[in-house]
Each structure stands twice: as C-alpha cells, then as structure tokens.
Amino acid sequence: MGDFYTEQLVKRQKASSTTLIKAILIILTVLSVVLIFMIPFGIIGPVIMIALDVFLFRSMDVEYEYLFVNGSLDIDKIMAKSRRKNMFSMEMTDLEMMAPSGSPELRPYQGLKGTDYSSGMPGADTYELIVVNNGEKKKIIFEPNKTVCEGLKMLAPRKVFCK
C-alpha cells in the first residue's frame, strides 16, 4: 500500500485590528524618538520600541500549514516564515465528522466552541472538523484544498462530507 501525503499552506489575512496595532506602535516609536531631545537617557526608548516593533510585526505575519500523512492531520502555525508551532494534531480514529461550514450535518454540534485555522477571508471555503480528544469534543475550522479533503474522505467516507 502506498503512502498518502499532501500538504497545503494557507496565509492568514491580516485583521483590521492588526493594522491598528501597527499604527499605534509606529506612533509610539516616533514619540520615543522625540523623547531623545527631552530626556538625557531617552535613547533607550527608541531602541526598545524599534526592537518591539520588529518582534511584533514579524509575529503578525501568520500562515497555517495543513499536513495530511496516512490518516494523521497536523496543523502548524508559521510565524514570519521562520518559526513553526504545532497547533493541532489528530488521527482518523479521533474524527467524528467533517463537513463544510454551515452544512446541515453540523447542526448537532452548533454549541461547540471552535478554533479557527483558516485564512479568515470572507467567502473562503471552510470546513469544520469535529474531533473527540480525551473524551472532549472539539471543533476545528480550517480551509483544506480538494486533495486534503479527498484524502480524508478516502479514509473515512461516512464521516467526511466534501463539496
């Protein structure tokens, strides 16, 4: 039997709050530069603000990678194209259901709180995974491509509903 392997990269859309935070950081950095002329040791402020700007600006650049290998789905968060953190992992035995967001099959799970690992773009084709992990049901919102969806359906045809 051959191995099934597929991966997908989804870039997270920048929220309007992210733009507001960046604007505030830039204004604070400019104000800290003005403080150099008023306070003798004011050079510390701009140095700290510039370091903070670089760190926070890079952490706001987020992508999600979906990796599906032989019945195991991993979702990793990639920040600034350099740091990776595993956000979610599951085996097919943990899957209770997967369906497009808003589909009637998901009605029994409406009250579950979900974690969103999609692009966040309006009108995106998102799916919801209902997973039982340690006796607790979780809802995961993600945006798989056709290959990932077909791979999941191939291993659990009665639990996975694709468009």
More confident position, 84 or 60? 84
pLDDT of residue 151 exceeding 50: yes
Which pLDDT tens digit goes with each residue over 60-83?
888 999 999 888 899 999 988 888
pLDDT of residue 80: 85
pLDDT of residue 1 exceeding 50: no
Give the sign of the dihedral formed by CA 34, CA 38, CA 43, CA 45: negative
pLDDT of residue 126: 92
For 138, phi and psi rounded to 5 degrees?
-130, 150
**Between the CA atoms of 54, 55, 61 and 64, what dihedral angle is there, to the nearest 10 degrees?**
160
Average pLDDT, the chain: 87
pLDDT of residue 143: 93
Three-state helix/strand/coil letters over the chain: CCCCEEEEEEECCCCHHHHHHHHHHHHHHHHHHHHHHCCCCCCHHHHHHHHHHHHHHHHCCEEEEEEEECCEEEEEEEECCCEEEEEEEEEHHHEEEEEECCCHHHHHHCCCCEEECCCCCCCCCCEEEEEEECCEEEEEEECCCHHHHHHHHHHCCCCECCC
Which pLDDT tens digit goes with each residue over 91-136?
988 999 999 998 999 999 888 888 999 988 888 899 999 999 888 8
Mean pLDDT of 127-151: 90
More confident position, 108 or 17? 108
Closest listed residue to residue 101, CA positions, set 156, 158, 151, 149: 149
| Predicted structure pTM score | 0.78
pLDDT of residue 2: 57
